[in-house]
Amino acid sequence: MLATVLHKPGDIRCEEVAEPKILRPTDAIIKLSASCICGSDLWPYRGLQPVDAPQHMGHEYCGLVVEVGAEVRTIRPGQFVVGSFCLSDNSCPHCRFGFQSSCEQREFMSGAQAPYARVALADGTLVATSEVPPAELVPDLLAVSDVLGTGWYAADAAEVRQGSTVVVVGDGAVGLMGVLAAKEMGAERIIAMSRHASRQQLAREFGATDIVAERGEDGVSRIKELTGGVGAGSVLECVGTAESFDQALACSRPGGTIGYVGVPHGVSFDGQRLFFGQKRMLGGPAPVRRFLPDLMDRVLQSRIKPGKVFDLRLPLAEVTEGYRAMDERRAIKVMLEV
Amino acid sequence: MLATVLHKPGDIRCEEVAEPKILRPTDAIIKLSASCICGSDLWPYRGLQPVDAPQHMGHEYCGLVVEVGAEVRTIRPGQFVVGSFCLSDNSCPHCRFGFQSSCEQREFMSGAQAPYARVALADGTLVATSEVPPAELVPDLLAVSDVLGTGWYAADAAEVRQGSTVVVVGDGAVGLMGVLAAKEMGAERIIAMSRHASRQQLAREFGATDIVAERGEDGVSRIKELTGGVGAGSVLECVGTAESFDQALACSRPGGTIGYVGVPHGVSFDGQRLFFGQKRMLGGPAPVRRFLPDLMDRVLQSRIKPGKVFDLRLPLAEVTEGYRAMDERRAIKVMLEV
């Protein structure tokens, strides 16, 4: 089959690879309904993460089960499923505590920018719908797999509640999903930090009440102005750079909470700064599995339309253009037809 | 009057200083019932914090109000009061949010190792008892001012609840108060990390269910053994060194919470380590004012005896020996008779 392989930074190709097979009795093989490119795929693409050997890319997925291993009990061929980018058994103590992304058996998904993919720990990882959903819901269900689940976790970790004042740092796809999540959780004020007209527009559609285009100290001043000099109770850090963390720390009030989901690159925190700032912080790879049933329900009931975050659709064969468009920020998030 | 002055690291003296006066109309002057030495006083004493000029030491206090400024409304001469080491107006947005230690007008108390002291922002800072309490409760009420309030905040920030499994890193006075706090909050399992027999004993009296004497990797292994391989849901970091933070991070479960109250010295956190560890963290100077009324009630009802943490009592004139005893860990916490 044709699938996406990153050979070295900047060199992403659609090329012939072997079809996936059941390797362990707890695996499933799915036929993807669609796939997409993640902001985190850009780290190795940009050379900010090493590429030691050619990598099969893609970790966001939904589709039809075509085969299951001998020990798979709850997932059956023919079912439509969504899974998280973190594969988990959903039964270990960390999973039961709601932190499936720290599952004792955790693996990270790969190879999902392809027509078929192997999903390990199928029973724990995959959530099936009761019927095969209509095609128009595929982008929304695909978004649940990572980008929405991650934005949702940012809002959950930042303790967004009914009436909260929220700042979202980062107008990438995850940040925009963070806006949607904050809105769904009942936030009263959602301030999206964004300098791009198309992203500002989408942020407003998803529920942002205010847009702050400034960054750095000016950005902090604007947030302070908008919050009566206090800062926000909940801040979603959806980038992962030193600058974005500085922004998040400076925008939150003492006793406020920062949920961070951008993988930190080149970031360290000074102990005394965190101490005297009194910011509560929780981050990490999102335990999307915790949220999957709820988020899939919201999509199936057409209560949310996270798939709007895909502003460019390309056939898998044009994946090179997809990475380029996201790298150059011409596209927010690219969906791949597989 | 005779009071405590730190001239340079290692050089602490009891010497003649001017009596405090009302400087602002929101001040009060109190006659201290007792004072004490704080673990944080040891940072400048040990030269780990600069001493640019002679410093009047002491920030823990309780006693009788002798004079108030013209704008003080709720505090009256003759009242017995306890206040926090953080002076706060208790009315700004940060105070109303329960983070009085980040009050817009925050000052840090000083000069309380003395017979008299000036307390700024008296109405916001001080809490009066309805009657002058019996002398035997003075050590307990003095402890509320900082060491108990700080240990309590560590447990509160670490989200200790009914049934929690708690690890307390640090067997100093604050750590021991953290044990007491966790017990009061209903923790089921309280693991105190301590290598000193007398401190282990006190930890057990305050409610520790387990003692771990090992440190470093061995300490982490013991905690893992005691928690079924999972780690603790709540960890109280009560030291402030790189080693103690390492311990706290390694002992807590993914999704668990670290409350840290030891002022970090030479500590920085790697972003990716925090991210992939998925530890929730909140620290800072304790907003003791939030807890004062409740903690004073518990003392006045003889429900808790935090004053047991004072294992050495000295007259103020012998303050030099007091600092030395704490520096050499011969004493857990020294009470000074003023």
The answer to whether B153 faces chain A, any CB pair under 8 Å, is no
Residue among A253, A264, A285 minimizing CB distance to B271? A264
Instruction: Say if residue B142 is in the same domain as residue B290.
Output: yes
Q: B276, B288, B289: best mutation site toward chain A, by most A Cβ within 10 Å? A: B276
The residue segments making up the domain with residue B319 are: 2-148+286-337
pLDDT of B49 reads 87
Residue among B99, B269, B275 minimizing CB distance to A255? B99
Q: Are B81 and B62 in contact (CB under 8 A)?
A: yes
Instruction: Say if residue A7 is in the same domain as residue A67.
Output: yes
Tell me the Ramachandran region of residue B216: left when phi exceeds 0, alpha when psi lies from -120 to 50, beta otherwise: left
Instruction: Say if residue B277 is in the same domain as residue B301.
Output: no
Instruction: Say if residue B6 is in the same domain as residue B143.
Output: yes
Q: Are B241 and B266 in contact (CB under 8 A)?
A: yes
A195 CB-side CA count, 13 A: 6
Q: How far is CA B180 from the centre of its chain?
A: 13
B106-156, pLDDT tens digit by residue? 999 999 999 999 999 999 999 999 999 999 999 999 999 999 999 999 999
Instruction: Say if residue A254 is in the same domain as residue A176.
Output: yes
Contact A97 B254 (CB under 8 A): yes
The answer to whether B105 faces chain A, any CB pair under 8 Å, is no
Instruction: Say if residue B197 is in the same domain as residue B279.
Output: yes
Residue among A228, A264, A270 minimizing CB distance to B272? A264
User: Taking CA atoms, what residue in A is nearest to B270?
Assistant: A268
Contact B94 A279 (CB under 8 A): no
Instruction: Say if residue A243 is in the same domain as residue A260.
Output: yes
Q: Which residues pair with A118 in a beta bridge?
A: A29
d(CA A121, CA A105): 9
Instruction: Say if residue A273 is in the same domain as residue A317.
Output: no
The answer to whether A290 faces chain B, any CB pair under 8 Å, is no
> In the numeric block, which tokens belong to residue A92?
């270990």
Query: Which residues from chain A sit within 8 angstroms of residue B277, using beta carbons?
Result: 284
Residue among B228, B278, B285 minimizing CB distance to A99? B278
pLDDT of A156 reads 98
Instruction: Say if residue A239 is in the same domain as residue A314.
Output: no
pLDDT tens, residue order, chain A (338 aa)? 999 999 999 999 999 999 999 999 999 999 999 999 999 999 999 998 899 999 999 999 999 999 999 999 999 999 999 999 999 999 999 999 999 999 999 999 999 999 999 999 999 999 999 999 999 999 999 999 999 999 999 999 999 999 999 999 999 999 999 999 999 999 999 999 999 999 999 999 999 999 999 999 999 999 999 999 999 999 999 999 999 999 999 999 999 999 999 999 999 999 999 999 999 999 999 999 999 999 999 999 999 999 999 999 999 999 999 999 999 999 999 999 99
Burial of B105 (0-12, 13-18, 19+ CB in 10 A): middle
Instruction: Say if residue B144 is in the same domain as residue B291.
Output: yes
Closest CA to B111 of B13, B221, B202, B20: B20
Q: Where are the beta strands (DSSP E) in A41-170?
A: 55-56, 62-68, 80-83, 86-87, 107-108, 116-119, 126-128, 165-169
pLDDT of B283 reads 96
**Coil vs helix vs strand at A305:** coil
User: Taking CA atoms, what residue in B is nearest to A103?
Assistant: B254
The answer to whether A94 faces chain B, any CB pair under 8 Å, is yes
d(CA B35, CA A312): 68
Instruction: Say if residue B95 is in the same domain as residue B230.
Output: no
The answer to whether A253 faces chain B, any CB pair under 8 Å, is yes
Find the CATH number of the domain harbouring A50. Answer: 3.90.180.10
Show which of B283, B304, B321 is a domain's final residue.
B283
Find the CATH number of the domain harbouring A199. Answer: 3.40.50.720
pLDDT tens, residue order, chain B (338 aa)? 999 999 999 999 999 999 999 999 999 999 999 999 999 999 999 998 899 999 999 999 999 999 999 999 999 999 999 999 999 999 999 999 999 999 999 999 999 999 999 999 999 999 999 999 999 999 999 999 999 999 999 999 999 999 999 999 999 999 999 999 999 999 999 999 999 999 999 999 999 999 999 999 999 999 999 999 999 999 999 999 999 999 999 999 999 999 999 999 999 999 999 999 999 999 999 999 999 999 999 999 999 999 999 999 999 999 999 999 999 999 999 999 99
Counted domains in chain A: 2
The answer to whether B264 faces chain A, any CB pair under 8 Å, is yes
Residue B310's H or E segment, with its range, is: none
Can you state the angle between helices B216-226 and B242-251, rounded to 10 degrees?
A: 20
Contact B274 A283 (CB under 8 A): yes
The answer to whether B254 faces chain A, any CB pair under 8 Å, is yes
- Measured CA to CA in angstroms, residue A21 lies from A119, A153, B328 at distances of 10, 32, 65
Interface contacts A/B by beta carbons within 8 Å: 124
Instruction: Say if residue B128 is in the same domain as residue B33.
Output: yes
Q: How far is CA A28 from the centre of its chain?
A: 22
Q: Are A187 and A234 in contact (CB under 8 A)?
A: yes
